[in-house]
Amino acid sequence: MKLSKKVILVSLFAIMALGLVFAGGGKDTAKSSQVVLKVMGYGDNSNQEGQNFVRIVSAFEAANPGVKVDYEMLYDEAYHNKVKARIAAGDLPHVAYMGSDARWGGPWQEAGAQIDHNKYIDTNLFDLSTIPADTKDGKRVYLPLGTSNLCTVVFANTKLLKELGFALPKTYADMVAMVPAAKAKGIEVFSTHGADGWAWGSCIMSSFVARTTGMTDFPERLVKGEIKFTDPTAVAALDFLTTMVKDGVLSPNSVMIDSGTGLSNFSNGKALFYMTGQWDAGSISPETQEVTALIAFPALPGEKGTAGSVAAAKQSGYGMTKSAEADGVTDAAMKFLNYFYGAEETIQRVRDGAIVAPVIKVGLPSDLPTIVKAKAAFGGSGMIETQVIDSYLTGAPNDALNAGMQEIVAGKTTGKDLAAKVEGLLRK
């Protein structure tokens, strides 16, 4: 009796174990002839980017039954953390969202994981003249989603400006002149999502420092040691934040406004100008989009050269890693990338405001939203493009700079002290 109980128990356990191991075995057998493409997607189920990614993957798999896309989709910091974890673990995806700057490309470059895409790019689809090389020897290590990513765009509510009796400002003094009228209506003149430290570097200071120093490549020169942050022209850019607060153009409360609140405030007519990257254009409410103009920050007092410049970085996008070459799935990977960058999807990205203009050979439809046309016109207006700070500056110096700018606006430090701190950390 005891023996049979033992046999029954052991048999039950064996059945359970086998069931766990071989569950869905039929399904696996059917897929064993498929190429499995490991992709790290960038997006969130709650945002357009993520929803598009999931939709594109499903459509691609339906159109290409021989390829299975095994994807992991994350957003913002979670994405960056997972990239580092997977690289450190040696678990490279075949395709991933990446860039060539310090933030988006740093971990991949460090691991030697990026490959030259020149031999894989379909030149019938992609317009190579819109895809700058990432290295001095002409390598393209990924495919940007669109043309240059404009990071320091000023969105101006033209309807509110007209109601207050003003036109688009050409100089900073024009903005200062708007302060009394704006305050009387309970409106901020200038706003940004200042709760995000990185926004001060990427979306604000990248523009100001180019204007005050007259250098389009100040961040690169700073990191190389060709110029110090304590240089008076660089400090002037930081001091300008203090000036903006003193003049009432910028509120100290802006350091507590996150992206959602900032966009909401601008959409609801609580700010005349909102400075952020072009990627936020699609997040402005449709009614406000119709009356929004895109401009570069007006002329700063005493600025040198680079008038009307906008800081821009090569747009991030998807690229293959060395794992795709090692596993021999480059054909499947490029099939996926070509589908992802296809005309229909690219035009949708332009329509959603995710990119300024396409990098593929496609004509844009005439029924694009007003703000999308405004973005494309702005991007193609021939303004000087300058470097974005955090494409070159990372780690403690960048953290100190971003937090320090928030402290300047909050009145807790000065441009001189912050410049000295950043310079000290950079040269340590």
Candidates 140-148, 171-179, 278-286, 395-403 — which segment interacts with another protein by CB under 8 A? 395-403
At 163, list the tokens: 């109601």
CB distance 114 to 59 below 8 Å: no
Task: Kindly tell me which residue out of 64, 158, 216, 261 binds another protein, with binding defined by CB under 8 A.
Answer: 261
Candidates 61-69, 86-94, 281-289, 361-369 — which segment interacts with another protein by CB under 8 A? 86-94
Judged by CB under 8 A, the chain residues 99 through 118 that form the site for another protein are 102-103, 106-107, 110-112
CB of 197 to another protein, least distance (A): 2
Q: Does 197 bind another protein (CB under 8 A)?
A: yes
Maximal C-alpha separation, the chain: 98
d(CA 96, CA 201): 25
Q: Does 407 bind another protein (CB under 8 A)?
A: yes
Residue 179 or 347 having the CB closest to another protein: 179
d(CA 199, CA 219): 16
Residue type present at position 36? V
Question: What is the number of other CB atoms lying within 10 angstroms of the CB of residue 139?
Answer: 14
At 94, list the tokens: 């075949």
CB of 136 to another protein, least distance (A): 20
CB of 161 to another protein, least distance (A): 23
CB of 192 to another protein, least distance (A): 12
Candidates 85-93, 120-128, 364-372, 379-387 — which segment interacts with another protein by CB under 8 A? 85-93
Q: DSSP 3-state assignment of 73?
A: strand
CB distance 336 to 328 below 8 Å: no
Angle between helices 370-379 and 343-352 (to 10 degrees): 100
CB of 302 to another protein, least distance (A): 28
Q: Does 396 bind another protein (CB under 8 A)?
A: yes
d(CA 267, CA 256): 18
Q: DSSP 3-state assignment of 305?
A: coil
The residues that touch another protein, with contacts defined as CB under 8 A, are 77, 80-81, 84, 87-89, 102-103, 106-107, 110-112, 195-198, 200, 253, 255-258, 261, 394-397, 399, 402-403, 406-407, 410, 412
